[in-house]
């Protein structure tokens, strides 16, 4: 009772401050077009007793009240999650940790469409101008998607969808919500493991109206992307109180990323294979394929770990190797940080796809864990010492920041009883 009263007067003050903040954000961020307000689902914003179920397991009443007030009014009470990753860093696996959740609307790499539309010639070297345009468009799209406006995505899909229906959404089948009711009625409601290809074959065109509805029905939206270079590129979104956005940054040992890319993207990384096979580094090797990973990681991690106020409560750094070593425990930590309750599906999925929380020798279809399954350090057998040595030079600082040890001889490299992963705890920024 007492705390409810306390909440009421605080609420009045905070709401007043908040509306100023919102106006400010609106003016600063949305000069071009009016912003659609999120639907407010709380009938009485001052009733602090009516708690947001997801926040229940956070610390103490006061914390809950403050959070509650902060996100009431015209502010989204939904939690929104962005998985900030790079290719072959384990992002599909992390995406699944959200995709499997019943109350999460998950999208796999929607920014693919922005890139293919704005930069159709897939260029690996990016110019500052390209990056700026891509990022601006990406942020606008993300903002719309977090508000469940999927129509906005249509302007980037080719051919442009007619009647809000398309069969060209990138990796539609990777999103459980887009393969089940009400969006698709091809599978029985209890079906848990819908195959991605099966979804695309049997669900027919994607009705964007229904997809938007499905998004609105869920409390959280999670989006995975490898197309945002650094966390600071997301600042405008993170600072927007209506979005309540939290960033999970996934990092991985760049040597592991390199080894995995060389195996996966055989054409693009052809010269790296030549280097490995011949022992000689091709003169025309595209080094940005490596340096960009390390620069982006370093930029993000430096920002994240310096704990700027705008990231408070909104940034968690996750090492892929830690997730691979202990998926269930790490996933719990992630959910706890987000203030969400991890539902049974997620735990079951982890059990099924990693065979237990620790045993990673299981074979399963998610590449990320399949890699780690054999050994999170299997890259050591796939790269030559020269390549590793080179990577260590280029990425020295980021390796150190993230707690990955370097090797100084081919023997050390191949001696797997010598782990290169330091036990390092990255406390989430609360």
Query: Under the criterion CB under 6 A, does residue 409 sit at the interface with ligand NAG?
Result: no
- Contact residue for ligand NAG among 57, 185, 217, 411 (CB under 6 A): 411
Name which of 185 and 348 has its Cβ closer to ligand NAG.
348
Residue count, binding to ligand NAG (CB under 6 A): 21
Name which of 209 and 268 has its Cβ closer to ligand NAG.
209
Query: Under the criterion CB under 6 A, does residue 73 sit at the interface with ligand NAG?
Result: yes
Query: Under the criterion CB under 6 A, does residue 163 sit at the interface with ligand NAG?
Result: yes
- What CA–CA distance (Å, rounded) separates 409 from 385? 7
CA distances from 9 to 16, 22, 103, 330 (A): 11, 20, 33, 39
3-state helix/strand/coil string of 78-105: CEEEEEECCCCCCHHHHHHHHHCCCCEE
Query: Under the criterion CB under 6 A, does residue 25 sit at the interface with ligand NAG?
Result: no
CB of 64 to ligand NAG, least distance (A): 20
- Contact residue for ligand NAG among 181, 381, 418, 427 (CB under 6 A): 418
Indicate the pairing of strand 220-225 with strand 104-108. Answer: parallel
Of 172, 148, 226, 177, give the one whose Cα is nearest residue 345. Answer: 177
Q: CB burial class (10 A; 0-12, 13-18, 19+) of residue 17?
A: exposed
Name which of 56 and 381 has its Cβ closer to ligand NAG.
381
- Contact residue for ligand NAG among 31, 123, 284, 417 (CB under 6 A): 417
Pick the piece of the chain touching ligand NAG (CB under 6 A) from 202-210, 322-330, 357-365, 381-389: 202-210
CB of 98 to ligand NAG, least distance (A): 13
Of 142, 128, 100, 154, give the one whose Cα is nearest residue 331. Answer: 100
- What CA–CA distance (Å, rounded) separates 386 from 115? 34
CB of 415 to ligand NAG, least distance (A): 4
CB of 182 to ligand NAG, least distance (A): 8
Q: Site mask, ligand NAG, residues 336-375, x = CB under 6 A? A: ---------x--xx--x-----------------------
- Contact residue for ligand NAG among 162, 197, 306, 359 (CB under 6 A): 162
Q: Is there a contact between 308 and 144 (Cβ–Cβ < 8 Å)? A: no
Q: Give phi and psi for 33, each to the nearest 5.
A: -145, 155
Of 208, 176, 189, give the one whose Cα is nearest residue 97. Answer: 176
- Contact residue for ligand NAG among 96, 180, 207, 212 (CB under 6 A): 207
CB of 180 to ligand NAG, least distance (A): 13
- What CA–CA distance (Å, rounded) separates 254 from 268? 17
Pick the piece of the chain touching ligand NAG (CB under 6 A) from 58-66, 148-156, 159-167, 194-202: 159-167
- What CA–CA distance (Å, rounded) separates 321 from 120? 34
Query: Under the criterion CB under 6 A, does residue 406 sit at the interface with ligand NAG?
Result: no
CB of 357 to ligand NAG, least distance (A): 14
Of 246, 226, 268, give the one whose Cα is nearest residue 89. Answer: 226
Q: Give phi and psi for 12, each to the nearest 5.
A: -60, -45
Of 105, 340, 100, 75, give the one whose Cα is nearest residue 215. Answer: 105
Tracing tokens 């595209």 back to the chain, one arrives at 286
Query: Under the criterion CB under 6 A, does residue 192 sit at the interface with ligand NAG?
Result: yes
Binding site for ligand NAG (CB under 6 A): 15, 19, 37, 73-74, 162-163, 165, 192-193, 207, 209-210, 345, 348-349, 352, 411, 415, 417-418
């Amino acid at each position: 009772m007492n705390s409810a009263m306390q909440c009421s007067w605080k609420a009045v003050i905070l709401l007043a401050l908040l509306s100023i903040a919102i106006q400010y954000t609106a003016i600063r961020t949305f000069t071009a077009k009016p912003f659609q307000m999120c639907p407010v689902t709380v009938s009485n914003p001052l009733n602090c007793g009516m708690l947001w179920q997801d926040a229940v397991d956070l610390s103490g009443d006061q914390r809950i009240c403050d959070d509650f007030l902060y996100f009431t009014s015209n502010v989204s009470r939904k939690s929104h999650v962005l998985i900030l990753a790079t290719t072959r860093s384990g992002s599909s696996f992390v995406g699944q940790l959200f995709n499997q959740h019943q109350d999460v609307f998950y999208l796999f790499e929607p920014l693919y469409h922005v890139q293919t539309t704005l930069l159709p010639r897939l260029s690996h070297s990016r110019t500052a101008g390209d990056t700026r345009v891509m990022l601006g468009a990406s942020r606008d799209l993300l903002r719309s998607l977090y508000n469940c406006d999927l129509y906005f995505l249509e302007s980037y899909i080719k051919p442009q969808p007619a009647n809000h229906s398309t069969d060209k959404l990138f990796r539609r089948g990777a999103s459980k919500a887009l393969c089940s009711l009400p969006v698709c009625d091809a599978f029985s409601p209890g079906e848990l493991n819908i195959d991605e290809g099966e979804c695309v074959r049997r669900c027919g065109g994607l009705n964007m109206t229904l997809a938007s509805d499905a998004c609105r029905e869920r409390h959280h939206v999670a989006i995975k992307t490898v197309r945002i270079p650094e966390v600071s590129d997301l600042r405008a979104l993170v600072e927007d109180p209506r979005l309540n956005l939290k960033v999970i940054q996934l990092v991985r040992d760049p040597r592991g990323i390199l080894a995995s890319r060389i195996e996966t993207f055989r054409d693009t990384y052809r010269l790296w294979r030549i280097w490995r096979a011949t022992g000689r580094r091709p003169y025309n090797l595209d080094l940005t394929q490596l340096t960009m990973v390390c620069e982006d990681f370093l930029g993000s991690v430096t920002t994240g770990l310096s704990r700027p106020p705008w990231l408070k409560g909104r940034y968690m750094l996750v090492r892929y190797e830690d997730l691979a070593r202990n998926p269930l425990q790490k996933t719990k930590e992630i959910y706890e940080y987000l203030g969400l309750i991890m539902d049974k599906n997620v735990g079951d999925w982890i059990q099924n796809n990693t065979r237990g929380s620790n045993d990673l020798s299981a074979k399963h279809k998610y590449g990320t864990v399949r890699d780690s399954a054999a050994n999170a350090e299997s890259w050591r057998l796939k790269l030559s010492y020269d390549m590793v040595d080179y990577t260590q030079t280029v990425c020295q600082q980021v390796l150190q920041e993230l707690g990955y040890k370097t090797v100084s001889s081919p023997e050390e490299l191949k001696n797997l009883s010598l782990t290169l992963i330091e036990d390092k705890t990255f406390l989430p920024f609360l």
